[in-house]
Amino acid sequence: MSVPRSAALIPDEAFAVLTGWLPANDDHARPLISLATVDADGRPDARSVLLSEFDRSGFFVHTDSRSRKVADIEAHPEVAFSIAWPADLRQLTVQGVARRASPDEEASAYARRSRYLQLLAWLNTPEFALFPTGEQEDKWAAFEAAHPDGTLAAPDTWLGFVIEPTRLTFWEGNPRAASRRTEYRRATDATWSRAILPG
């Protein structure tokens, strides 16, 4: 079941750091995160996905409903992701619960995707994957020509999740001293605690 954007979850201090570290939502270049899930049998998995956007309610990702990650999330909505900026000596890790995004948010995210990713959402099927490369390229070109830019809506298989954080960990390195982590944890009563930890 899809849900509307929830009320603000992330505390002000942590959100200020996020807005300094992550690109703005209207930045066309979306960052890659490494998203970790657990399948129905308890086996872990991880893959890189685009972080579509973020706000005070959480972090939004979008994918194909037939993907393995969706089956994992449906079995275990508790997920984690990380993103690193090696040159800046920074890393963000997040634990949280993935919930379906609203239909309006899903449509908005699809509209902001690049032309290539919009086409990919339609053509990245199990059947298409079996075609030889040359045949894939021909079918791709034909589909693109039949659907001018700006005319595609999201396919039925397009869906989004908002990851509502329960833990946010900001790691910062320092070549002249020890690294450290600033960690925020959400309690069951929705209050947050903050701790400074060794790196």
Any domain includes 132: no
CA–CA distance, 27 with 114 (Å, rounded to integer): 12
Confidence at residue 199, expressed as pLDDT on a 0 to 100 scale? 87
Looking at the domain assignment, is residue 182 inside a domain? yes
Does some domain include residue 63? yes
Q: Report the pLDDT value the prediction gives residue 3, as an integer from 0 to 100.
A: 43
What is the residue range of 73's domain?
12-114+156-198
pLDDT of res. 1: 39
Number of domains in the chain: 1
**Sequence-separated (6 or more) residues with CB below 8 Å from residue 43:** none
On whether residue 92 sits in a domain, the answer given is: yes
Looking at the domain assignment, is residue 137 inside a domain? no
Low-confidence ranges of the chain (pLDDT < 50): 1-5
Domain at 108, CATH number: 2.30.110.10
Q: In the prediction, which pLDDT does 90 show?
A: 98
> What is the Cα–Cα distance from 85 to 32, expressed in whole angstroms?
11
Q: 108-132: per-residue pLDDT in tens? A: 999 999 999 999 999 999 999 999 9
Q: How far apart are CA 156 and CA 139, in angstroms?
A: 20
Q: How deeply is 94 buried, as exposed, middle or buried, from its count of CB atoms within 10 A (0-12, 13-18, 19+)? A: buried
